[in-house]
Amino acid sequence: MSKTVEANFDGLVGPTHNYAGLSLGNIASTNNQSAPSNPRQAALQGLAKMKALHDMGLVQGVLAPQERPDVHTLRKLGFTGSDAQVLAEAAKKAPKILAACSSASSMWTANAATVSPSADTETGTVHFTPANLCSKFHRSIEHETTSNILRAVFPDEKHFTHHPALTSTSHFGDEGAANHTRFCQNYGDEGVEFFVFGQYSFDDTKVAPSRFPARQSLEASQAIARTHKLNEQRTIFAQQNPEVIDQGVFHNDVIAVGNRNVLFCHEKAFLDQAKVYNDLKTAYGHDDFYIIEVPESRIRVETAVKSYLFNSQLLSTSDNEMSIVVPSDCQSDRQVSAYLDDLVAADNPITDVKVFDLRQSMNNGGGPACLRLRVVLTQEELKAANPSCLMNDKLYSTLCQWVEKHYRDRLTEADLADPQLLIESRTALDELTRLLQLGSVYQFQRV
Give the separation between CA 66 and CA 80, rounded to whole angstroms: 22
Strand locations in 48-206, DSSP E?
Answer: 60-63, 113-116, 126-130, 160-162, 180-183, 192-197
Q: How far is CA 42 from CA 7, 34, 169, 427, in A?
A: 22, 16, 32, 19
Give the separation between CA 290 and CA 292, rounded to whole angstroms: 6
Q: Among this protein's residues, is 370 annotated catalytic? A: yes
Buried b or exposed e, range 51-76, using 16+ CB within 10 angstroms: bbbbeeebbbbbbbbbbbbbbbbbbe
Q: Among this protein's residues, is 400 annotated catalytic? A: no
Q: Among this protein's residues, is 163 annotated catalytic? A: no
Q: Is the dihedral angle over the CA atoms 299, 304, 307, 309 positive or is it negative?
A: positive
Give the separation between CA 60 and CA 391, rounded to whole angstroms: 5
Give the separation between CA 331 and CA 429, rounded to whole angstroms: 35
DSSP β-bridge partners for residue 262: 259, 290
The single residue of 180, 370, 381, 406 carrying the catalytic annotation is 370
Sheet of 350-356: strands edge to edge? 313-316, 322-327, 350-356
Among the listed residues 446, 408, 418, 436, the one whose alpha carbon sits nearest the alpha carbon of residue 87: 418
The single residue of 72, 138, 251, 406 carrying the catalytic annotation is 251
152, 415 Cβ separation under 8 angstroms: no
The single residue of 67, 175, 193, 413 carrying the catalytic annotation is 175
Residues annotated as catalytic (active site), given as ranges: 175, 251, 370
